[in-house]
Structure 1
């Protein structure tokens, strides 16, 4: 059974700047301005070189941290698919290590955001340099050599502007991919925590299916064979014995619905028995509500957003049970 997303592929461009060409001093006011602008461009390009080196370093580190995390989760998932004891301390330790590793990936995103701010500042500087270079053509007292050097400088600054824009765009894409990955994997870890508690793996987080609308199949909720008709429960959990093992059946039913209807919402109903008199009925109602709340927590642990489920209660002449309906 497949798990979470594979670590995203980050950008691979190595952003190398081309140093500006030198020019002979002309002794004019414009010539002095060109010299100042050229020095500003050199400083800007030095800053870009540092940022590019930092980008390559954080990419390498993030790729390594993501792979280590993914490998650890894969080992846990394989063990759970084979079956293990509920609350296995070795699995708990492995889960804690995976969570710690995922936080390292999240820290890498923080470094990328900080780097993005620095690159954005350089982007503003490059835009200023380009405007200043173009404005220098209008300064009086220039000689032909000044304008020739300005044309070369304008081209060099323009190339630098484009390079910075590409760097910033690719860095933003890296941040977006990694942020989505970390958010998804946090849901996966919650699902794994529930699986470790029960000693078996249900499947990937329901959040992965609930938000994956890119490959939605046409909904089919009318066939009586599917059990998805409105008014017909998807799942009935009868609490007629201690420690009812309902999670796998619950996960399978909800996951099947979300495969067809990623935006589906559900009604969770606590049904209590009215048999046995008023006092017994009141006890049944309280017990069934607690059971329904436990089922709701299980759904959330499986990755289903809490806002997708409404909780209500009713009574019946049948036994105590919790029913899940497709709204």
Structure 2
């Protein structure tokens, strides 16, 4: 049975799967109390350990500084095309300024995330150090420190939210740059231009192309930071549940079993890397769970793909997926190159949506292919 959502450009293979879920959280009262001499000594020892060793488990953030090049100035020619070139040059300058602002915001967010992570790990290290030497069950000092670690992790979640907001701003920059590139290319076809107009147009086209590439790299790196931090915070929340039990019992337990089991059950690691597309032939022996056709500017696929993936995971918690960017094979070589780039962006967009819905990126493999039956760019989701 196949269900079509024509409005969203989505085809979904229906699944008859059962569903169940549960959530468990550790709740602790906010307590204060005086620190004993023994507690103070343990805290000092933990602080020394933190200072002497690097933070473990914190995923590395991107380090690229996305500084765009300035727009090349040009002289007015007095023609209609020349005036249009001047106007587009001004629009590109405004876009470049936006990129600079967003790049500065990214660098500030990265610095803030590192500080919040250091604060969180310092607090957790102090708790574990005290648990390791032994303490009383429900030690009020450790309970207070545990509450502080929850607040520190909430700050990291806030950092992720700000990165997501930044990604949305960069998405708008990306749309603007694509529109500008189309405008520049269309201007070559306007009559009444002199040679100088086309020379300046060629320079402007190169600079817009460079800007498009810079924005895509910025967007990819922000998305990578978000994916890494999202997975990391989710794993740390599970670890805090185990740590809460340790504080309650006065014993040290270690990391959450759920974080260990995910890699053991699937045969994959939780390490998140930059999206890497493998060129593959179109799968012929598998039926896609979801086919998303990008035949319009906005395709509302989120609810459909969420429902499908949720049903699969309810039945197979260790499921691993393949996300394939499909380009029509009947296009000309130039159009196919552009279409392939767009399809890969769209597949990364779907992956970002899945990540935001809670699916670990390590559960999804990205690849690209062509299809003779496709009329427009598509993204297929397969169960491996």
Q: TM-score, normalised by structure 1?
A: 0.64
Task: Report what 2:190 is aligned to.
Answer: 139
Q: How many residues align?
A: 216
Q: Give yes or no for the alignment of 1:178 onto 2:244.
A: no
Task: Report what 1:194 is aligned to.
Answer: 245
Contact 1:134-1:154 within 8 A present in 2 as well: yes
- Aligned counterparts of 2:119 and 2:58: Cα–Cα separation in 1: 10
Moved over 6 A (4+): none
- Aligned counterparts of 1:154 and 1:170: Cα–Cα separation in 2: 24
- Aligned counterparts of 1:86 and 1:97: Cα–Cα separation in 2: 18
Task: Report what 2:261 is aligned to.
Answer: 210
Report the CA distance between 1:211 and its aligned residue.
1.0
Task: Report what 2:206 is aligned to.
Answer: 155
Q: Deviations over 1:87-140 (max 9, x none)?
A: 000000000001000000000001000000000000000000011001100000
Task: Report what 2:121 is aligned to.
Answer: 70
Distance 1:149 1:21, change over 3 A: same
Contact 1:5-1:181 within 8 A present in 2 as well: no
3-state SS in 2 of match to 1:212: helix
Contact 1:20-1:38 within 8 A present in 2 as well: yes
Q: Give yes or no for the alignment of 1:22 onto 2:68.
A: no
Question: Which runs of no fewer than 5 residues in structure 2 stay unpaired?
Answer: 1-54, 269-316, 319-384
Distance 1:214 1:54, change over 3 A: farther
Q: Deviations over 1:297-319 (max 9, x none)?
A: xxxxxxxxxxxxxxxxxxxxxxx
Q: Deviations over 1:151-191 (max 9, x none)?
A: 00000000000000000000000000000010000011110
Distance 1:48 1:96, change over 3 A: same
Question: Which runs of no fewer than 5 residues in structure 1 stay unpaired?
Answer: 218-261, 264-327
Among 136, 160, 174, the residue aligned to 1:123: 174
Task: Report what 1:234 is aligned to.
Answer: none
Task: Report what 2:143 is aligned to.
Answer: 92
Task: Report what 1:238 is aligned to.
Answer: none
What pairs with 1:47-86 in structure 2 (closer than 5 Å)? 47-86=98-137
Report the CA distance between 1:215 and its aligned residue.
9.0
- Aligned counterparts of 1:172 and 1:198: Cα–Cα separation in 2: 39
Contact 1:62-1:108 within 8 A present in 2 as well: yes
The structure having more radius of gyration, on CA atoms, is: 1
Distance 1:214 1:48, change over 3 A: farther
Q: TM-score, normalised by structure 2?
A: 0.55
Task: Report what 2:94 is aligned to.
Answer: 43
- Aligned counterparts of 2:175 and 2:264: Cα–Cα separation in 1: 37
Contact 1:7-1:67 within 8 A present in 2 as well: no
- Aligned counterparts of 2:267 and 2:91: Cα–Cα separation in 1: 53
Distance 1:5 1:208, change over 3 A: farther
